[in-house]
Amino acid sequence: MDSRIKEAALQLIEASTVTCLTGAGVSAESGISTFRDPQSGYWSQFDPEQLASQRGFKRDPGLVWRWYMERLVGSTINAQPNPGHIALAQLQNRLSNFTLITQNVDNLHEQAGSTNVIHLHGNISTFFCNSCRRDHILSDAERTDDLPPSCHHCGGMIRPGVVWFGEQLPRAEIEAAWSAAQASDVMLVVGTSGIVYPAAGLPSLAQEFGAVIIDINPERDALSSMAEIFLQGPSGEILPQILDEIDKINAK
């Protein structure tokens, strides 16, 4: 493993443009459940279509609302950035042209100090009306309600500012992510199962355009097989080791 950490550090230092794509796994060590882990993942308790889709929201708005409010408290009030988030924020200062793209709806990258983060799937702390799409500021009382609040303008249901299955990703974010992937010399992929498109297509796009893929994940999967460097383990342990190695090389 040591030699692969060194190899990853060297690739990152030598790259002119580095892009990082993160998924739920980077926040797992902050106590936020991933989506597809069989023991603790959200999808082990619920059908994704039932919760993260228009159809699911219309069928049972209360269930979807309570699920998001529980996750809002878990990810914004109770969770802190872990050493993986902190190392990524430090990498931004060490490497040239570093772009961080996340599928996560928490704000832990920003809390760790990362800036200009591209959020492909939105943000769980923002809200808008599912009918007229106007923004909504959530009150404390609304957060603890069993049903979604009503829009002050049209009476429609308020929903979290996240991207559900079947919905378009925000155009500016996906275009920025696409450009960053195509320009990358190295793409660091951290804690994602690589199942959900279009985000899952970014590593292969970067590779087609010549990028070296470094994948960090405790589990082997399709992404680890296509990666030039696979670092098996939790990102909260591996990313700080890469950062240390970069600092050692730079100090020589």
Q: Output 17 or 216, the one with its CB closest to ligand BJW.
A: 216
Q: Is 154 in the site for ligand BJW (CB under 6 A)?
A: no
Cα dihedral 36, 228, 212, 114 sign: positive
Distance CA 19, CA 5 (A): 17
Contact 194, 221 (CB under 8 A): yes
Q: Is 66 in the site for ligand BJW (CB under 6 A)?
A: no
Instruction: Name the residue type at position 215.
Output: D
Q: In the stretch 124-153, what mask flags binding to Zn ion with x, by CB under 5 A?
A: -----x-xx------------------x-x
Stretch that binds ligand BJW, among 6-14, 127-135, 148-156, 217-225 (CB under 6 A): 217-225
Q: Is 35 in the site for ligand BJW (CB under 6 A)?
A: yes
Residues 6+ apart with CB under 8 A from 184: 15, 17, 18, 19, 206, 209, 211
User: Of 85, 109, 119, 121, which one is the catalytic site residue?
Assistant: 121
Q: Is 157 in the site for ligand BJW (CB under 6 A)?
A: no
**Other CB atoms within 10 A of residue 214 CB:** 26
- Measured between its terminal Cα atoms, the distance across the chain in Å is 22
Residues that bind Zn ion (CB under 5 A): 129, 131-132, 151, 153-154, 156
Residues that bind ligand BJW (CB under 6 A): 23-25, 28-29, 34-36, 41, 52, 103, 105, 121, 162-163, 165-168, 191-193, 195-198, 216-219, 221, 234-236
